């Protein structure tokens, strides 16, 4: 077993499991903390060198199960991530995303462990819709103005992490991936992303339903590219405190539906929380390219094909 041991909170989740796979492929042993509220043990089947601890980032007893003295890096991915749910349950989001992050930061400060957290493009909020952001993409220099408790809770977590960088000289890295999709992402309407939902409904011959008029534009990042970005970011020295990750290309949700559908109908329906909608999210990841020599390797078509094949395999199991 390798001596390179890293902690991945939320490691049984969608992005977390693929990050753990990338770490395994680079000879790291992953210690995974996950309460399985959204993560799945089946997601760990792609791994070959890991230790799993079922527990919550809010529970001190669970955190004490982690061998902090032996950990060389912490990737903090455990979070609640549904915009609509956050509007209905804001207190829960603040507790997990802000307070939970603070708990992990305290351990990293105590044991002097480098800390990387995944934040979200949703922290940009309304500033993502200004003209320069919609044409050239949103850079890290853009102001933040989240419009949902989810975005606000992640921005709060970022600010806590930044304060630890300046107050305690902790090694802090904040990743802002844009709309990430791929295998292991939920395809139900409650937790799922739009791509797996559309793909599964297309495979099953069901209608594709869109909130609003479908003119919302999104920048989609394949999960394996996201995992590689997180790994490169953590393991590159002298990087900016915050880095975006995305393709720099957008597609409207209505055009995405047309790309995915076969004989399915596309149905527009009333948005349950129109106040939280951001019409354009386009990433400017120039800093990631210049600092990490990173750029996405998967086109949208390649990612959709691989994601669709995975969903079909799951249905056949």
Contact 254, 210 (CB under 8 A): yes
Contact 3, 71 (CB under 8 A): no
The residues assigned a catalytic role are 150
pTM confidence score:
0.96
Residue-wise pLDDT for 279-308, tens only, equals: 899 999 999 999 999 999 999 999 999 999
Question: What beta strand segments (E) does 55-151 contain?
Answer: 73-76, 115-118
The token pair at 151 is 């975005």
Contact 232, 294 (CB under 8 A): yes
Which DSSP state fits 115? E
The token pair at 191 is 């937790």
Q: In the block, which residue shows the tokens 């809010």? A: 58
Residue-wise pLDDT for 221-279, tens only, equals: 999 999 999 999 999 999 999 999 999 999 999 999 999 987 789 999 887 777 778 88
CATH superfamily of 4-184+220-246+283-297: NAD(P)-binding Rossmann-like Domain (3.40.50.720)
**Cα 74 from Cα 93, distance rounded (Å):** 21
Contact 78, 57 (CB under 8 A): yes
Residue 2 above 90 pLDDT?
no
**Which of 93-102, 194-203, 254-263 has the lowest average pLDDT?**
254-263
Contact 24, 4 (CB under 8 A): no
Residue-wise pLDDT for 18-68, tens only, equals: 999 999 999 999 999 999 999 999 999 999 999 999 999 999 999 999 999
Query: What CA–CA distances, in Å, run from 289 to 26, 63, 246, 283?
Result: 21, 35, 11, 12
**Cα 33 from Cα 35, distance rounded (Å):** 7
For Cα atoms 264, 268, 270, give the angle at the middle one, nearest 5 degrees: 145
Instruction: Provide the Cα torsion 236, 19, 150, 65; round to 10°.
Output: -100
**Cα 105 from Cα 98, distance rounded (Å):** 11
Domain ranges of the chain: 4-184+220-246+283-297
């Amino acid at each position: 077993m390798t001596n390179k041991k890293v902690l991945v909170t939320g490691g049984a989740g969608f992005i977390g499991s693929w990050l753990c796979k990338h770490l395994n492929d680079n000879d790291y042993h992953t210690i995974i903390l996950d309460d399985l509220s959204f993560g799945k043990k089946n997601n760990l089947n792609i791994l070959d060198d890991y230790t799993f601890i079922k527990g919550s980032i809010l529970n001190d007893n669970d955190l004490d199960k982690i061998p902090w003295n032996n950990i060389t890096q912490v990737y903090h991915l455990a979070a609640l991530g549904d915009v609509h749910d956050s509007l209905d349950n804001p207190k829960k989001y603040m507790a997990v995303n802000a307070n939970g992050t603070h708990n992990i930061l305290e351990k990293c400060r105590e044991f002097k462990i480098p800390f990387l957290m995944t934040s979200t493009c949703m922290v940009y909020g309304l500033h993502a819709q200004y003209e320069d952001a919609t044409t050239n993409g949103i850079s890290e220099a853009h102001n933040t103005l989240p419009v949902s408790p989810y975005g606000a809770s992640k921005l709060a977590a970022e600010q806590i992490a930044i304060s630890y960088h300046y107050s305690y000289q902790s090694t802090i890295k904040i990743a802002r991936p844009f709309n990430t999709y791929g295998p292991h992402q939920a395809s139900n309407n409650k937790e799922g992303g739009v791509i797996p939902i559309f793909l599964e409904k297309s495979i099953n011959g069901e209608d594709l339903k869109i909130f609003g008029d479908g003119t919302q534009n999104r920048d989609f990042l394949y999960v394996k590219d996201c995992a590689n970005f997180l790994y490169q970011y953590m393991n590159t020295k002298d990087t900016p405190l915050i880095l975006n990750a995305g393709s720099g290309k957008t597609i409207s949700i209505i055009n995405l539906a047309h790309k995915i559908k076969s004989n399915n109908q596309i149905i527009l329906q009333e948005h349950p929380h129109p106040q939280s909608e951001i019409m354009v999210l386009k990433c400017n990841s120039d800093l990631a390219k210049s600092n990490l020599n990173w750029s996405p390797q998967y086109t949208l078509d390649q990612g959709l094909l691989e994601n669709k094949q995975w969903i079909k395999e799951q249905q056949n199991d």
